[in-house]
Amino acid sequence: MSQVNLDDVRSAHSRIKTYLADTEIVSSESLDNAMNAEIYFKPEQLQRTGSFKFRGAMSAMTLLSKDQLKNGVIAFSSGNHAQGVACAAKILKTSSVIVMPSDAPDIKIKNTKSYGAKVIFYDRQKDSREKIGETIALKENRTLIKPFDSSQVIAGQGTAALEAVKSIELQDKHFDAAIVCASGGGLTAGTSIVLKDHNPNCDLYTAEPSAWNDHELSFQANKRIFIKNGQHGICDALESPFPGEITFEINNNNNVKGLSVDDEAIIAAMKFAYQEFNYILEPSGAIALACLMSSRATFEGKKVLILLSGGNISNKKFQEYIST
């Protein structure tokens, strides 16, 4: 099975850094006091395409050959990976086809198309996005850019943590813990590789909706657990039924643990981020903060990295959430 190491993450960063937006870590004195901890936020909703997913897409696609770029790429995603791949394809002057669920948020569909991607819809309940993507890839000779179970994508996602570590080490500090949103586990895997080198004793946690906590259950069982018939909630980007193979091996080996919260806690985190920083986060982007705020005792006295992972949400929908 393919693995990823710190050199892979560093190499990815050297390839893509000129394309990245600056997402410098920030903190909140009021939250630090309330949590009795030092909390550092990496605001990846300010990243290009509105999420960290651009990092992984660009990492994988900057390794494509001229012939591969000529034939184009394909990806499947509910929205953030879709936008990352579509944007990277536009930058690299290649074509992209994106397989998206028919119930994906309108803003994510619109944004994906704005980069020139061709969007093909599927039914979450009936269709397999993997089969659709693989069929098109074979038929059109396109390169499939997987959303998480790819060494190159994982290395790219790890670049966010690499930047955060550099920032905190300049202050002569280190992270004691980190909370990372998890769908397939790519961001967590890349982050865990970086942070375990930075501090071998760093405690790492995935953040998931309580109805889609496949990572949390998988870490407890020491094997990949499949979520059956999970109720759809507000975190459309995190409703993956099981961890990736490569990602689970990396995360389990790095002793990652799981946290999960309900929609109410996620909305509270969205409200806090908006009031404190004027950040507009989609629910999936705020879930790591929600898990922190729901687990005060676990992080008391620690220096904690929180990855704010995305902000692709319409103003109307955002206002609906924070007004409840």
Sign of CA pseudo-dihedral 175, 179, 181, 187 = positive
Ordered DSSP codes for 91-117: HTT--EEEEEETTS-HHHHHHHHHTTP
- Is residue 134 classed as helix, strand or coil in its secondary structure? helix
**Do 35 and 62 form a contact (C-beta atoms < 8 A)?**
no
Specify whether 166 is catalytic. Answer: no
Locate the DSSP E strands across the chain.
Answer: 38-43, 73-76, 96-101, 118-122, 143-144, 177-181, 203-209, 257-261, 303-308
The catalytically annotated residue of 42, 53, 108, 146 is: 53
Dihedrals φ, ψ of 282, to 5°? -70, 160
Report the distance separating Cα 267 and Cα 277, nearest Å.
Answer: 15
Give the helix/strand (H/E) hosting 191: helix 186-198
The catalytically annotated residue of 51, 59, 77, 78 is: 78
Bridge-based pairing of strands 143-144 and 177-181 is unpaired
Report the distance separating Cα 20 and Cα 87, nearest Å.
Answer: 12
Which amino acid is it at 113?
K
Specify whether 167 is catalytic. Answer: no
- Side-chain-side CA neighbours of 280 within 13 Å: the count stands at 11
Residues in the chain: 324
Copy the structure tokens of residue 90.
Answer: 């536009």
Give me the residue label for tokens 């494509």.
64
Bridge-based pairing of strands 118-122 and 96-101 is parallel
Active-site residues, by number, are: 53, 78
